[in-house]
A and B are shown apart, each in its own frame.
Chain A
Amino acid sequence: MTTVWAVRLVRYVGWMVLAGSIGVIVGSIVVQAVGGPVASDVLWPSPRLWRYFGTTLWMAAVATAMALLLSVPAVIALTQARRAWQRRILRGLVVLPLVTMPAVFAYAWMLLATRRGGWVAAVMEAVGWNTPGVEPLQAAWVLATWLWPIPALVLVSSYSHLGAPGFQLARLDASSRLAFLRGALPLMRAPLAAALAVTFILAATDSSVPPLMGATEVWAVEMLAEASVASSQPAPIGYLFWRSWPMLAAIALAIAAAIPGIRRMEDWLDDVVAADLGDSASTGSNGVWVVANLLAAAVTVLPIVVFCTELAGGRSPLPQILSTAYRTFRQDGLATLLVAVLTAACAMAIAVALLHEAETRAPKRTFARAAMLMVAVSAVLPPELTGTALTTFFSRISDPSGWNIYDHTPWSWIAAMVARFGFIPVAVVWLLSRRTSSALVAQARSDGASESERLAHLHLPLLRRSLLAAGMMTACLTVSEVGAAVLVQPPRFFGGSLAVQVDGQMHYGRQDETIALSLMLIVPAVAGAIGATWLVGRPGRIRSADDARSQGKRRMASGVR
């Protein structure tokens, strides 16, 4: 009973969160943009904007290709690992970059590029890293070092689920390489396309790496300038919406390309992070495996090594640097962590609420689908639009003379983060819920189980670990967000956004406190990576009545004792 009661409560909380975050943003867009653009030049971008758009797409495409290349060592390392514990460590390492603040990678490369003397400076010189005009390429490289886990994890899991039989068959009369290319790869095409599409979207919309690498002629930077222009417009949200349509259209196309692959992965989506290959024995050589491991580890831990090296040669002793960084940013760190946890909780509540409605019949189910569409749309909106919409709405409805939701709570901030990253738990729950046996659901329905009971006893036991892992990913991404956070920081809360502070400091280049802080920012990412991979690596199961009874007996027995 407790579980059903909790599910009902979470469902209501989920709907309230959805209305107070994504509902506000979509409502603001509908109100301000429905009348069309204020002028024709708003709808049709100038040649300059088209040029920036082209540069951004080119940069994202290069980043995607580089991410695919970077993923190869990790894929080899994961597929050829013989022991489960080896795979567990490796998959934690693979997930780590993805949940680390992308600006941290950019900062590490900035530090490498500004080294004076020594072999690092010589290498950077030799590869022409500081050649003028290659900034978009550098940004693409740094984005690839952040995003390569996506193709790596999808490649590994899709090989396990789709490609392996084809490979085995082709291997009978072909070399390993040919067997993989002609036997396995065609079968893995759709999931791989989905992974590359997601990588492309994240690279194209990131607003922290390109500016730090000096690539300013990109879409995300231009949106910052547009937000400034928008603030003087009568309908700023409508203005920003119409200004951003080319990128929204590009993202929609990428999503359309990803859908077939995502559908293929429905049954084993959580395996993507688990990277669980069962007990299949490896056929590769030890040498290849060791080299692959070293390469994968090098790509993952590069920022950590760079920061540690810099701190070791810092102007002050390491404990003093760490202590100063902690004292300066403690309040912001705590506030950001709190917001990250609450954002994850809110996003998971929305996921449960939508799944609950999906268990009902039309028209509620249609309503749930519409809400899912809203979640997807809000995720791809420019962060400046999200921030402006929430700031305008919540500052207007709350009275500053007393305690209010806008000043004293981080609600606007949480709402912005839910809008940006809430799609992760929602998508995971939605896709994984389909694999719950329809016969079981039908049986439960005919037995008279309500929607909440079916959710509590059928769906959630199977989904809870994946849901928690998705929540952890949401929390990690929230810690790193800058674009919307700068606009929605609560005026009278005890702290602001750590990411905004760090991003500001990183532009100054080599500073001991900023380096220490960047290192500290990897800690929650490590926790997130370990937590997510541990959770999805342990399959959930539905409790039978016998389970419940035997547990009840055990409890009674222990009580007697």
Chain B
Amino acid sequence: MRIHRIFPAAAVALAACLGPITGCDRGGTDEPDAEVVVYCSVDTAFAEPILADYERLTGVKVHQIFDTEAGKTTGLVSKLKAEKGRPRADVWWSSEIFGTMELASGGVLAAYEPAGIDDIPRQYRDSSHLWTAVGLRGRVIAYDPKRTRPDELPRRWCDLVEPKYAGQFRMADPRFGTTRGHMAVLLSLWGEEAMRGFYRGLRNNGCKLTDGNSQSVVLLSRGVANLVATDTDDVIVAQGRGDSVAMIYPDMDAPGGGRSVSGTLWIPCSVALVSGAPRAEAGRKLVDFLVSAEIEVRLHASESRNVPVRPGLRARLGAESPGEAAVDYSAAAGLLDLSDRLVRDILLE
């Protein structure tokens, strides 16, 4: 095996490899509107079939970049910020809304009002048309009905600091994904002092963090935790797997007899056009598709069971968002940095 023998073979192999590298793969094209790039933090299992159908219906090649579960949205938000000088993505499709609002305030997103969103309520549309929200998932407490009786469950999120829940509760790291937005919403409703007290209470109760909402449910199934904060879709997937898991929708009342907020938080997915998108026209068409009623129906029919934001659609599908609280997403998004700091300084310290 001598180098002068290996070299021609290696050159041929390299040339074969260069085909796909130089964009000569089956999907590559130089026409600007014949392809579109989407950065997506919606779970692959739910997003991929939808994007594949879009490709099939329109003939437009969709390049998809996904995030890891641990850093849900964080990795791609960082990538979008790093690319801000010369954006490469056309569309941002997020599994939550707070990271999207952060990107909007950072000038990463472009204004675009998609077609066919008249039936979407105002709170799910940005007033400057920087994003549109669809498909809600609820923030719930999951438990194993074989191990925990209904009367032992907390009724409100703030109840989790009670001593009887010591060592029982886990949640995903509140600096990532929907848990991050959830904590920011509680901060916006309760105020900083109450939130500090909540984090201190959780810390004193030995609240441990997990690597993501889905992993929280896995830990619940394993019996490592008795109560976990998670999203509705993670519970539904676990139930489909045959795990003994149930969920409740705790109220968001402030602790210590403070502000009363009945119902829990429901967080929508969000779709936006990236500012300076290289294929803006193709991006707009994909945004139209992703915020359409058809996609809301598909997300609801999937294992994710997202609840449509369109009231008419909800009624038609019989979809419900139990205990949906009215919250100001933008107020919470403005508090994300403070929320992160409180998590770092109190809960994690």
B75: chain A residues at CB < 8 Å are 224, 227, 486-487
Asked if B37 lies at the interface with its beta carbon under 8 angstroms from chain A, I say yes
Q: Are B225 and A224 in contact (CB under 8 A)?
A: no
- Would you call B320 an interface residue if the criterion is a C-beta within 8 Å of the partner chain's C-beta atoms? no
For A389, give the chain B residue with the smallest CB separation: B82
Task: State the majority secondary structure of interface residues on B.
Answer: mixed
* Residue A231 is within 8 A (CB to CB) of chain B in the complex: yes
Contact in complex: B21, A504 (CB < 8 Å): no
B127 close to chain A: CB less than 8 A: no
One of A14-22, A141-149, A428-436, A492-500 at the interface: A492-500
Chain A residue numbers with a CB within 8 Å of B59 are none
Q: In the complex, are the beta carbons of A496 and B37 less than 8 A apart?
A: no
Docked Cα-Cα span, A224 to B7, in Å, equals: 41
At the interface, yes or no: B115 with Cβ under 8 Å from chain A?
A: no
* Inter-chain contact B218/A509, CB cutoff 8 Å: yes
B212 adjacent to A388 (CB under 8 Å): no
Per-position binary interface string of chain B over residues 1-34, scored 1 when its CB falls under 8 Å from any chain A CB and 0 otherwise:
1111001001001100100111101111010100
A6 close to B68 (CB less than 8 A): no
Name the contact of A6 in the complex, choosing from B3, B83, B176, B210 (C-beta under 8 A).
Answer: B3
CA distance A131 to B223 in the complex (A): 8
CA distance A465 to B3 in the complex (A): 11
Contact B28 A407 (CB under 8 A): no
B54 close to A (CB within 8 Å): no
Query: Which chain B residue has the least Cβ–Cβ distance from A212?
Result: B211
Using a CB-CB cutoff of 8 Å, which residues 318-372 of chain A contact chain B? 328, 334-335, 338, 341-342, 345
Q: Is the CB of B77 within 8 A of A509?
A: no
Whether, in the assembled complex, A182 has its beta carbon less than 8 Å from a beta carbon of chain B, the answer is no
Q: What residues of B have a CB within 8 angstroms of the CB of A227 in the complex?
A: 71, 74-75, 78
Please tell me if B222 contacts chain A, counting CB pairs below 8 Å. Answer: yes
- CB pair A231–B65 under 8 Å, yes or no, is no
Option from B82, B87, B175 in Cβ contact (under 8 Å) with A236: B82
Contact residues, A1-38 vs B (CB, 8 A): 2-3, 6-7
Main SS class of interface, A: helix
Query: Does B89 lie at the interface of the complex (its beta carbon under 8 Å from any beta carbon of A)?
Result: yes
Select which of A116, A224, A510 is within 8 A of B74 by beta carbon.
A224
One digit per residue, 1 when the CB lies within 8 angstroms of any chain B CB and 0 when it does not, for chain A 210-240 equals 0110101100010011011111100010000
Among A2, A211, A456, find the residue whose CB has the most chain B CB atoms closer than 10 A. A211
Q: Which residue of A400, A508, A510 is within 8 Å of B86 (Cβ)?
A: A400
Chain A min CB distance to B202 (Å): 15
- Check B2–A543 contact: CB distance below 8 A: yes
User: Which range contains the number of B residues in contact with the other chain?
Assistant: 35 or more
- Assess the A487–B82 pair: CB atoms within 8 A: yes
Contact check, B7 vs A2: say whether CB atoms are below 8 A apart.
yes
A490 to chain B, nearest CB (A): 9
Contact with A409, one of B22, B43, B63, B106 (Cβ below 8 angstroms): B22
Task: Please state if A492 and B218 are interface contacts (CB–CB under 8 Å).
Answer: no
With A6-B4, A214-B215, A509-B221 as known contacts, state yes or no: A395 contacts B68, CB within 8 Å: no
- Please give, as numbers and ranges, the residues of chain A lying within 8 Å of B224 by CB-CB distance: 130-132, 214
A503 CB–B CB distance under 8 Å: yes
User: In the bound complex, how far is the Cα of B81 from the Cα of A550, in angstroms?
Assistant: 63
Number of interchain pairs (Cβ within 8 Å)? 211
Give the A interface residue count (CB, 8 A). Answer: 80
Given A338-B20, A341-B17, A491-B63: A500 touches B68 (CB 8 Å cut-off): yes
Whether the pair A464, B209 counts as a contact (CB closer than 8 A) is no
Cα(A492)–Cα(B61), bound, Å: 10
Residues on B with C-beta less than 8 A from A461 are: 2
A510 contacts B2, C-beta separation under 8 Å: no
**Chain A 507-546 interface 0/1 with B at a Cβ cutoff of 8 Å (1 = within):** 1111100000000000000000000000000000001000
Cross-chain contact A388 with B215 (CB below 8 angstroms)? no
Which A residues from 58 to 114 make CB contacts under 8 A with B? 110, 113-114
Within 8 A of A (CB), among B53-111: 63-71, 74-79, 81-83, 85-89, 106
Q: How far is the CB of A164 from chain B (nearest CB, A)?
A: 31
Query: Are B68's CB and A464's CB within 8 A?
Result: no
Chain B positions 187-224 with a Cβ under 8 Å from a chain A Cβ:
208-212, 214-215, 217-219, 221-224
CB < 8 Å neighbour of B23 from A345, A388, A403? A403
**Bound: A350/B205 CA distance, A:** 53
B13 / chain A contacts, CB cutoff of 8 Å:
341
B13, closest chain A residue (CB):
A341
A228, B70: Cβ atoms closer than 8 Å: no
Question: Is the C-beta of A549 less than 8 angstroms from some C-beta in chain B?
Answer: no
B173 in contact (CB, < 8 A): yes
**B23, A408: Cβ atoms under 8 Å?**
yes
**Shortest Cβ gap from A49 to chain B (Å):** 9
Q: Does A311 contact B (CB under 8 A)?
A: no
Tell me, yes or no, whether A410 is within 8 Å of chain B by CB. yes
B85 surroundings in chain A (CB, below 8 A): 395-396
Whether A507 contacts B70 in the complex (CB less than 8 A), given A47-B349, A400-B88, A456-B3, comes out as yes
Binary per-residue interface labels of chain A (383-423) against chain B in the complex, 1 for a CB within 8 Å, 0 otherwise: 01000100110011011111100111110000000000000
CA distance A384 to B32 in the complex (A): 31
Q: Does B238 contact A (CB under 8 A)?
A: yes
Q: How far is the CB of A514 from chain B (nearest CB, A)?
A: 10
B68/A388 in contact, CB under 8 A: no
Q: B241 near A: Cβ within 8 Å? A: yes
Least CB distance from A469 to B in Å reads 13
The one of B28, B175, B242, B348 in contact with A408, judged by C-beta atoms closer than 8 angstroms, is B28
Q: Which of B30, B76, B78, B225 has the most CB of A within 10 A?
A: B78
CA distance A392 to B81 in the complex (A): 9
Beyond the given A211-B70, A227-B75, A400-B88, please list 6 additional residue pairs across the A-B interface where CB-CB is below 8 A. Answer: A224-B71, A345-B10, A391-B82, A395-B82, A464-B3, A486-B76
A residues with CB within 8 A of B: 2-3, 6-7, 46-48, 110, 113-114, 116, 130-133, 211-212, 214, 216-217, 221, 224-225, 227-232, 236, 328, 334-335, 338, 341-342, 345, 384, 388, 391-392, 395-396, 398-403, 406-410, 456, 460-461, 464-465, 482, 486-487, 489, 491-494, 496, 500-501, 503-511, 543
A to B CB contacts below 8 Å, 19 in the list: A46-B344, A48-B349, A116-B242, A211-B211, A212-B215, A221-B70, A221-B211, A228-B74, A231-B77, A338-B20, A341-B17, A395-B85, A395-B88, A396-B85, A492-B88, A493-B63, A494-B25, A504-B44, A509-B241
B→A interface (CB under 8 Å): 1-4, 7, 10, 13-14, 17, 20-23, 25-28, 30, 32, 35, 37, 39, 43-45, 48, 63-71, 74-79, 81-83, 85-89, 106, 167, 173, 175-176, 208-212, 214-215, 217-219, 221-225, 234, 237-238, 241-242, 278, 340, 344, 348-349
7 A-B pairs with least C-beta separation: A211-B211, A494-B25, A507-B69, A2-B4, A400-B278, A231-B78, A509-B218
